[in-house]
Amino acid sequence: MPSLNDPRFTGAFTAIVTPFTQNGEAIDYDRLAAQIEFQAKGERGTGGVKGIVVCGTTGESPTLTEREYQELVKRAVELGHKHKLLVIAGTGSNATAHALHNQTVARDAGADGTLSVNPYYNKPTQEGLYRHFAAIAEAAEKGGPILPIILYNIPGRTGVALTTATVERLAKFRSIVAVKEATGSLDSGSEIAMKCPNLALLSGDDSLTLPFASVGGVGVVSVVSNILPGRVAALCAAFNGGNWDNALRIHRELYDFCRAMFLETNPIPVKGAMRLLGRDSGVLRLPMCDASAATMAAVRQALTAQGLL
């Protein structure tokens, strides 16, 4: 493994859902506590993931109020640290000033790192992207210990992608420690791993975790691990330990399940799966809505194939 800015940010991290009450009007903190404990212990006591990401895409962060966001980050840090998990807070925004504010919230809450997405909708140039993340990185390196930043490259959601050249410029900041690549492009992952060896390359697509590992990836920010934290952690441990045969076996065992979790926009299928398992209300906030009957039938079949139903 290359010399990373922060070697803690390798392995499996769960992009945790935000559990809502039955009417969707509030966050269900009792369920949140149970879900975080599940992430630490793993299914069937197999051992869990290295950390969690709260207030990310899977956590429906655009639907949270400012008060909810601050409380959710605070509670997640407390609960995660209780179980020895790293806690990463989603802090991205399409306004640099707001992203900087979210970074302050995360720092004050004691988060171990932040996940900062490409600014969405306004579609900045590469220079604009560089200046946005540079401002965040500079702030993260002031006023005490460095607050680590994971860049979140997901053009399908944001309308713009970080190029390898821009990531290479940003890799010079000590506070930028990793890239979550949700581009679906092995070429992009390959180039980042080659040109930015100090950054941890994390897959942002569950079905591509092992393929990304083959070109230099060292982990994943996973949706599937909401359901199967132990199996996703075992996959990462296998390839990071050089056991490629075992990694391929686990990849193949999880592949169909991974695909089922993305039959509709994330987190619609995974919340439906958690409802079937009795682990979540399944409630989503508009504009997200319940999965179709066809998707739920496929989700039920995927859970059954994994021996969970």
Nearest by Cα to 92 from 192, 224, 189, 180: 180
- DSSP percent split of the chain into helix, strand, coil, nearest 5: 50, 15, 40
Nearest by Cα to 101 from 87, 88, 112, 116: 116
Q: Residue 101 is inside which H or E element, if any?
A: helix 96-109
Burial of 225 per CB tally in 10 Å (0-12, 13-18, 19+) = buried
* C-alpha span between 45 and 222 (Å, rounded): 19
**Residue listed under structure tokens 């941890």:** 200
180 is catalytic: yes
What is the maximum span of the chain, computed from C-alpha positions, in angstroms? Answer: 52
Q: Which of 123, 152, 172, 195 is catalytic?
A: 152
Query: Do you know the residue count of the chain?
Result: 309
3's CB contacts (< 8 A; 6+ apart) are 197, 198
Alpha-carbon distances of 217 from 7, 86, 184, 208, 214, rounded to whole Å: 13, 19, 13, 10, 7
177's CB contacts (< 8 A; 6+ apart) are 4, 5, 6, 9, 113, 148, 149, 150, 199, 200
Peptide bond into 267 cis (omega under 30): yes
Q: Which of 172, 180, 195, 271 is catalytic?
A: 180
> Hey, which residues are catalytic here?
152, 180
